[in-house]
Amino acid sequence: MSEDRFDRDDNNDVFANNRGVIKSWKGLVLAVGGFIGFIALLTVFSMIPPLQWLTPALVGLLFLVVGIIFLKMSKTSYILPLFVVLIGTVLMFLCITDKFFPGFIDAVGDRGVGTIIIAFGIIMLIYPFAMTWYYKNRYKETVEAVVVCVDSHISRTGHHVMTYRPVYEFTYSGRTYQVTDKVYSSGSHPSTGEVRDILIDENNPEHFVDLERMKIKSPSSYIFPVILLALGIYLVVAG
């Protein structure tokens, strides 16, 4: 088996490369129906003056929920989901305060917005360390796992980037498990045949984390949080 496996059958499987979010035609119908219903709801609200403020607020809620879902699914990619959470939070904050606390945004000015941006910059910097601490305290069992293959997938959003997710195999309590992350990620990854110590949930061994892979971060992953911090500090000082 080659180190980086790209399953040709995936090209004909509408559910193969959606990162495990939609697994069946029923799920696809519900997802499409929910999206159409959400757009219809936004359209209705936008045409009713007393409810127009809800339109951007609901868009912000959508961003917030999507960001949180992908944060929960991914153990290695966090910058983009946190940025989506930031957009959703700011949108909801601006809409709700403008509706129920008129004049509040003008009162806090750039300093309030800068403070929010600084907070998210700090969260982005400490998030991987916080999650490492979280997994160490939640998953108590350490098992020796073999990387049986590395699934690869070409990301078609923006630049065509090759992304990966290792498939681990281990034995626990007399049973053999094969587990993999739900989300593909770019960057370094273990090779097929490599042995890794992973942490698992003793009550549900399919819940796992490869701390060694999670700790590997490229220098570029710190650029965006630093830019946010600089922007936030500028707004606070200038305000």
pLDDT (0 to 100) of residue 7: 41
Of 199, 185, 175, 200, whose CA–CA distance to 150 is shortest? Answer: 185
Computed over every residue of the chain, the mean pLDDT equals 82
Q: Is the pLDDT of residue 31 over 70?
A: yes
Those residues with Cβ within 8 angstroms of residue 51's Cβ, 6 or more apart along the chain or in another chain: 44, 45
pLDDT (0 to 100) of residue 47: 92
Q: Looking at residues 15-19, what average pLDDT do you find?
A: 46
pLDDT (0 to 100) of residue 9: 39
Token representation of residue 198: 């992973």
What tens digit of pLDDT does each residue of 94-123 get? 899 888 988 887 777 788 888 888 998 999
pLDDT (0 to 100) of residue 16: 45
| Burial environment of residue 181 by CB neighbours within 10 A (0 to 12, 13 to 18, 19 or more) | buried
CA torsion through residues 177, 214, 2, 24, sign: positive
- Whole-angstrom CA distances from 6 to 85, 149, 151 are 31, 10, 6
- Per residue, the 3-state secondary structure of 163-223, as one string, reads EEEEEEEEEECCEEEEEECCCCECCCCCCCCCEEEEEEECCEEEEEECHHHHHCCCHHHHH
pLDDT (0 to 100) of residue 18: 46
What tens digit of pLDDT does each residue of 182-208 get? 777 776 788 899 999 999 999 999 999
pLDDT (0 to 100) of residue 171: 95
pLDDT (0 to 100) of residue 146: 95
Q: What is the DSSP string of the chain?
A: --SEE--GGGGG-TTTTSTTS--SHHHHHHHHHHHHHHHHHHHHHHTSGGGTTHHHHHHHHHHHHHHHHHHHH-SS--HHHHHHHHHHHHHHHHHHHHHHSTTHHHHHHHHHHHHHHHHHHHHHHHHHHHHHHHHHHH--EEEEEEEEEEEEEEE-SSS-EEEEEEEEEEEETTEEEEEE-SS-B-S--PPTT-EEEEEEETTEEEEEE-HHHHH---GGGGHHHHHHHHHHHHHHHH-
Name the phi and psi angles at 71, rounded to 5. -65, -40
What tens digit of pLDDT does each residue of 150-164 get? 888 776 555 567 788
Q: What is the pTM of this model?
A: 0.70
pLDDT (0 to 100) of residue 23: 61
Domain positions in the chain are 137-218
